[in-house]
Structure 1
Amino acid sequence: MNRKLRVGLIYGGKSGEHQVSLQTALAVIKAFDHSIYEIHPFYITPDGEWRSGGALPGPVESVEQLAFAGLPKQAGAAEEEASGPGTVLGPLFEASGRGLPVSSSAADGAPALDVVFPLLHGTYGEDGTIQGLFEMADIPYVGAGVLASAVGMDKVMMKKIFAQEELPQCVFRHFTRPQWEKDQAFFLMDVEVAIGYPCFIKPANLGSSVGVSKASNRDELIEAVRLAFKYDRKVIVEEFIDAREIEVAVLGNDEPQASVPGEIVSSSAFYDYKAKYLDGQSAMIIPADLPEETKEQVREMAIRAFQAIDATGLSRVDFFLGRTDGKLYINEINTMPGFTPFSMYPLLWKETGKPYAELLSDLIKLAFQRHADKRTIQYKFDAE
């Protein structure tokens, strides 16, 4: 390919992790080699509005510029009007020029976008919904497919699959808002008998520790459930384990590879949103100080988890390592981990020998590989 590769970056989103996505987008835009890649921004507002601009001339230097980078080319007073509801979804459909009945806007006749890189975290970005849009548009995209994204987002379904694969994990309980409202007393008793205190309460479908609380008694548990229901209709309650937090990065499609493991030493009582993204005080120990046998075990379990949900592209797999018994428990898999300056995923690969720019190029290659493989599937059937 003689021209630059056209990469659509989609960021922002209608999610509690909107700001995390902007930080990821800023880091990725700065890391791309703009002499090789032509970056097309697609900004999704917190209200779900899509804004598309022309190709970026170079790196964006601040988070504040990201929303502007996603605006249409019209400038001045017309900007607000141009970024209104009429831009919703249209730019991406037109950009694909592939499976949808629209013409390409590229001057050379090639599709306006060669590949899409969704830098979206949480709801409507990491849960399979936008991946389904890419599938309908028949355009290559970075990361996991519809099924793996949905399973990786839903902590309850994820844990059920891990249990089927006999991956060790902590005790958990879950319930929906209607179930809780109908029989709160039962679920309180179930949690207290099966798990006890302290315990962790989380929205089932959200990441970045948004809406996560630690409860030490019944009153705190009720308040934590109330908070979690602000972000999802399903809540999961997990056993507290006195453990070290170990993370592994996975990269690949059918033959995934695992990075060296790293360890998180949180600046607060647990690794919450502030500790992850705001205070910059949490320590990341890379590689983690572990026996070789444990390092191999955690890498092997990370790949098993990746394959169990049929993931592709990238994932970060998180573990607990018991401080007293040395037992390894899988916590969760994240199919679109952050690329912020504080993010573990790129740092793990850097320590493993793969720098940031190379990692981004590999992810794009994996997207093309997966798309080409899917195109070998025959969808038409002639009964004759």
Structure 2
Amino acid sequence: MAEASRPTVAVMFGGRSSEHAVSCATAGGVLEAIDRERWNVVAVGITEDGRWVPASDDAQSWRIRGGELPRVAPDERTVLPPRDSSERTWRVQGADGRASALAEVDVVLPLLHGPFGEDGTIQGALELIDVRYVGSGVLASAVGMDKAYMKIVLRAAGLPVTPDVVLAPGEDPDSRRAEIEALGMPVFVKPARAGSSMGISKVSRWSQLAAAVAAAVVHDPKVLVEQAVVGREIETAVLDGPEGPVASPAGEIVTGGGREFYDFEAKYLDEAAVDLRCPTELPDDVALRVADMALRAFQAVGAESLARVDVFVAEDGTVTVNEINTMPGFTSTSMYPRMWAAGGVSYPELVEMLLAGALARPVGLR
């Protein structure tokens, strides 16, 4: 059982999405950064088939080693959250059906990326039992996950976003060929509800379109065909504090090694393929606009706790919002903590601020 003087945080990671391994790697960084004198920590892994299982809280268990991605292993045991809002004790049920206490959980840190975790589903489950958690609520999480609806919300808030065509599940891209070709060449084809650059293709010839759509459908039946934007890839970390959301110094992604864009391998497996510049140099007026757009995007979707907002900055200084990510990659080398480090907030301090903020945030409607 948890010591009375220390709150207990349940770190949740893994999950059913194609970003399972990325979530595990994120957990490794966070588990190392949490102050164990301040927090009792329990680790809850979600297997790729959706089972909640007790997991190691040793950060070393979740490292990417030699290109090998970590995964939550199958387990006969199951973690059971409370049945309703009157309980606080989480339990572990064995294969024999017997359950024992795991911990009285005060706050959850759901380090889940992609569908079945980052999209409002876990957030809704926690809301039902009045458990506090880090991150955005149900609606903001769902909007941030679905790039098509995210753009609808951002456009309504007056923010410039990249032009696109949305292909519904099962829709033949040839039936929308005129609209797609009107976007110009090249285009990017991506799953509407995925992250970590999973399933994204750059199409430089229309003969490549069908294969690109097929690659995206592996991750999501709903697909976005998006106009390419020529410009610098700039990111901003937003942190929701007591006085409201604040923006970090901007960072920049510069790809190399023959890669045409910031794909999955460049993000997680080939450090030489990308240069993460943080902070980056922008003209003062452009830097102010980038920060302003990041905060406006955060507020437009109703985000809470944290988010990373990605934009393109053209040569003439025009800023276009690419997307908002309500649970960004959070390893110690990920852009979100690196941008805050450039702003004077260390990785452990950042984790503490997020946990303390979630613990203080009321449950239910707010």
Once the two structures are superposed, the pairs formed by residues 106-125 of structure 1 within 5 Å of their partners are: 112-125=104-117
The Cα of 1:332 is off from its aligned counterpart by 0.2
* Alignment partner, residue 60 of structure 1: 59
Once the two structures are superposed, the pairs formed by residues 201-350 of structure 1 within 5 Å of their partners are: 201-252=189-240, 255-267=244-256, 268-281=259-272, 282-323=274-315, 325-350=316-341
* Alignment partner, residue 13 of structure 2: 11
The Cα of 1:364 is off from its aligned counterpart by 1.1
* Alignment partner, residue 135 of structure 1: 127
The Cα of 1:222 is off from its aligned counterpart by 1.1
In the alignment, the residues of structure 2 paired with residue 250 and residue 131 of structure 1 have an alpha-carbon distance, to the nearest angstrom, of 19
In the alignment, the residues of structure 1 paired with residue 31 and residue 332 of structure 2 have an alpha-carbon distance, to the nearest angstrom, of 13
Q: Which amino acid aligns with 2:268?
A: Y
When you count helix as a share of all residues, which structure comes out higher?
Answer: 1
Once the two structures are superposed, the pairs formed by residues 33-112 of structure 1 within 5 Å of their partners are: 33-52=35-54, 56=57, 59-63=58-62, 83-84=75-76, 87=78, 90-93=79-82, 99=85, 112=104
Q: Which amino acid aligns with 1:362?
A: M
Q: For the Cα contact (< 8 Å) 2:185–2:228, is it kept in 1? A: yes
* Alignment partner, residue 76 of structure 1: none
Q: Which amino acid aligns with 2:13?
A: Y
- Is the alpha carbon distance of 1:69 and 1:302 closer, same or farther for their aligned partners in structure 2, counting shifts above 3 Å? closer
Q: Which amino acid aligns with 1:165?
A: A
Paired residue secondary structure (2:195): coil
Q: TM-score normalised to the size of structure 2?
A: 0.88
Paired residue secondary structure (1:288): coil
Q: For the Cα contact (< 8 Å) 1:280–1:342, is it kept in 2? A: no
Q: For the Cα contact (< 8 Å) 1:12–1:21, is it kept in 2? A: yes
- Is the alpha carbon distance of 1:173 and 1:280 closer, same or farther for their aligned partners in structure 2, counting shifts above 3 Å? same
Q: For the Cα contact (< 8 Å) 1:53–1:69, is it kept in 2? A: no
Q: For the Cα contact (< 8 Å) 1:139–1:371, is it kept in 2? A: no
Indicate whether 1:159 and 2:148 are aligned.
Answer: no
- Is the alpha carbon distance of 1:64 and 1:313 closer, same or farther for their aligned partners in structure 2, counting shifts above 3 Å? closer
In the alignment, the residues of structure 2 paired with residue 102 and residue 62 of structure 1 have an alpha-carbon distance, to the nearest angstrom, of 27
Paired residue secondary structure (2:32): helix
Q: For the Cα contact (< 8 Å) 2:9–2:108, is it kept in 1? A: yes
In the alignment, the residues of structure 1 paired with residue 356 and residue 62 of structure 2 have an alpha-carbon distance, to the nearest angstrom, of 27
Paired residue secondary structure (2:223): strand
| Cα-to-partner distance string for 1:226-272 (whole Å, 9 max, x where unaligned) | 11111112101111111100000001067101001111112321011
Please give the root-mean-square deviation of Cα atoms over the aligned residues, in Å: 2.6
In the alignment, the residues of structure 2 paired with residue 162 and residue 363 of structure 1 have an alpha-carbon distance, to the nearest angstrom, of 25
Q: For the Cα contact (< 8 Å) 1:200–1:214, is it kept in 2? A: yes
The Cα of 1:327 is off from its aligned counterpart by 0.8
Paired residue secondary structure (1:121): coil
The Cα of 1:177 is off from its aligned counterpart by 2.4
Q: For the Cα contact (< 8 Å) 1:26–1:60, is it kept in 2? A: yes
Q: For the Cα contact (< 8 Å) 2:15–2:48, is it kept in 1? A: yes
In the alignment, the residues of structure 2 paired with residue 100 and residue 207 of structure 1 have an alpha-carbon distance, to the nearest angstrom, of 35
In the alignment, the residues of structure 1 paired with residue 358 and residue 279 of structure 2 have an alpha-carbon distance, to the nearest angstrom, of 28
The Cα of 1:103 is off from its aligned counterpart by 5.6
In the alignment, the residues of structure 2 paired with residue 360 and residue 215 of structure 1 have an alpha-carbon distance, to the nearest angstrom, of 39
Once the two structures are superposed, the pairs formed by residues 165-184 of structure 1 within 5 Å of their partners are: 165-180=157-172, 184=173
The gaps in structure 2 that reach 5 residues or longer are 93-100
Indicate whether 1:146 and 2:138 are aligned.
Answer: yes
Q: TM-score normalised to the size of structure 1?
A: 0.84
The Cα of 1:348 is off from its aligned counterpart by 0.5
The Cα of 1:189 is off from its aligned counterpart by 2.1
- Is the alpha carbon distance of 1:102 and 1:356 closer, same or farther for their aligned partners in structure 2, counting shifts above 3 Å? closer
- Equivalent pairs, count: 348
When you count strand as a share of all residues, which structure comes out higher?
Answer: 2
Q: For the Cα contact (< 8 Å) 2:10–2:105, is it kept in 1? A: yes
In the alignment, the residues of structure 1 paired with residue 21 and residue 278 of structure 2 have an alpha-carbon distance, to the nearest angstrom, of 26
- Is the alpha carbon distance of 1:258 and 1:2 closer, same or farther for their aligned partners in structure 2, counting shifts above 3 Å? same
The gaps in structure 1 that reach 5 residues or longer are 72-79, 378-384
Structure with greater Cα Rg: 1
